[in-house]
């Protein structure tokens, strides 16, 4: 496990981030002045009850959604202040995103799916680089398969390779094990752990699963749009105990 200290620089830092959505009786606050850092070369899990704002938090941190106020610093770039063109460049070059439903293009092979971010950036796609990303997730022998010819766990591995190929500063994952059986889910968590420990990368993920959260270096608990707790070097039991406090 990577070493967490309070002085470790964050890959992404949120400062007083607020976000609301329109509701029947005016705007409904979803994030309330959230301040939080995702430390470099660490795996951070975000947990909390359904509707507490976890996905909204991840989307704001990844530049997929815009806060109403506050800052989202990726290095010294404030994503909250970027226009759409700048955000597109940041999302293509500096941030990776892994979704619960994998979001692979069904007509493309695993190789072509992984090559896509490099193609979108323009320039020549280096075959070695794509194969290296597939090797990192243990799928170099499945490069020619389409998503439908792969298991759910293998599809999620391809999705992770697709983020790694672009060498992002941080990988965000929203419920990466949420559509998988227990065994495949465990393998995906082992892979995300290796992405941090062997690859020296940074991962931030949302999960409902205490076993998945126990693979993280740090768990941040969200309730009603606010950070209400933090657990470093968590165990599944300690996470489940904390969650039960807020779900009573
Ligand atoms: N685009 C949107 N428009 C209106 N309301 C939204 C929108 N996105 C999210 N919300 C609302 O914001 C609140 C927080 O949603 P969010 O998806 O961030 O929660 P969550 O903690 O990830 O929930 P879950 O665990 O169920 O996925 C919910 O009440 C949701 O209905």
The region, left, alpha or beta by phi > 0 then psi within -120 to 50, assigned to residue 19 is beta
Nearest Cα residue to atom 28 of ligand 1: 51
Mean pLDDT within 159-183: 95
What is the per-residue DSSP string for 71-84?
EEEETTEEGGG--H
Which of the four pLDDT bands, split at 50, 70 and 90, describes residue 200? very high
> Has residue 39 been placed in a domain?
no
Residue ID of nearest Cα to ligand 1 atom 3: 21
Please state whether the predicted TM-score (pTM) of the whole model is above 0.90: yes
pLDDT of res. 3 = 53
- Answer whether residue 157 is part of any domain: yes
Query: pLDDT-derived band of residue 8, with 50, 70 and 90 as boundaries?
Result: low
Q: Domain count of the chain?
A: 1
Q: How confident is the model at residue 245 (pLDDT cuts 50, 70, 90)?
A: confident
Domain membership flag for residue 113:
yes
Q: Is 193 domain-assigned?
A: no
Domain boundaries, position 153: 104-167
pLDDT at 4 over 80: no
State pLDDT tens for residues 92-112.
889 999 999 999 999 999 999
Domain-embedded: residue 125: yes
Residue 91, judged by CB atoms within 10 A of its CB (0-12, 13-18, 19+), counts as: buried
Q: Does residue 148 lie within any of the structural domains?
A: yes
**Which helix or strand (DSSP H or E) is residue 31 part of?**
strand 26-39
Q: Does residue 29 belong to any structural domain of this protein? A: no
Q: State in Å: Cα 200 to ligand 1 middle.
A: 31
Q: What band does 9 get if pLDDT is binned at 50, 70 and 90? A: confident
Distance of CA 115 from the midpoint of ligand 1 (Å): 32
Residue range 126-169, pLDDT digits in tens: 999 999 999 999 999 999 999 999 999 999 999 999 999 999 99
* Domain presence at residue 120: yes
Tell me: pLDDT of 58 over 70: yes
pLDDT at 93: 87
For ligand 1, say whether the CB of 55 is within 6 Å of any of its atoms.
yes
């Amino acid at each position: 496990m990577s070493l967490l200290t309070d002085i470790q620089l964050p890959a992404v830092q949120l400062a007083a981030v607020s976000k609301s959505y329109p509701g029947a009786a005016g705007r409904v606050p979803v994030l309330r002045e959230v301040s939080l850092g995702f430390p470099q070369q660490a795996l951070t899990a975000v947990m909390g009850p359904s509707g507490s704002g976890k996905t909204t938090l991840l989307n704001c941190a990844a530049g997929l959604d815009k806060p109403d106020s506050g800052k989202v610093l990726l290095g010294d770039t404030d994503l909250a202040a970027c226009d759409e063109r700048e955000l597109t460049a940041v999302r293509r070059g500096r941030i990776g995103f892994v979704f619960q439903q994998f979001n692979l293009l069904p007509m493309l092979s695993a190789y072509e799916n992984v090559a896509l971010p490099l193609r979108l950036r323009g320039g020549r796609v280096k075959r070695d680089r794509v194969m290296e990303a597939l090797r990192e997730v243990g799928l170099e022998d499945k490069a020619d398969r389409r998503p439908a010819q792969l298991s759910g766990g293998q599809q999620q591995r391809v999705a992770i390779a697709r983020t790694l190929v672009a060498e992002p500063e941080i990988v965000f994952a929203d419920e990466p094990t949420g559509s998988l059986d227990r065994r495949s889910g465990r393998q995906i968590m082992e892979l995300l752990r290796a992405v941090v420990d062997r690859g020296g990368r940074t991962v931030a993920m949302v999960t409902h699963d205490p076993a998945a959260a126990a693979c993280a270096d740090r768990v941040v608990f969200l309730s009603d749009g606010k950070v209400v707790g933090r657990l470093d070097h968590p165990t599944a039991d300690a996470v489940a105990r904390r969650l039960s406090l807020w779900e009573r």
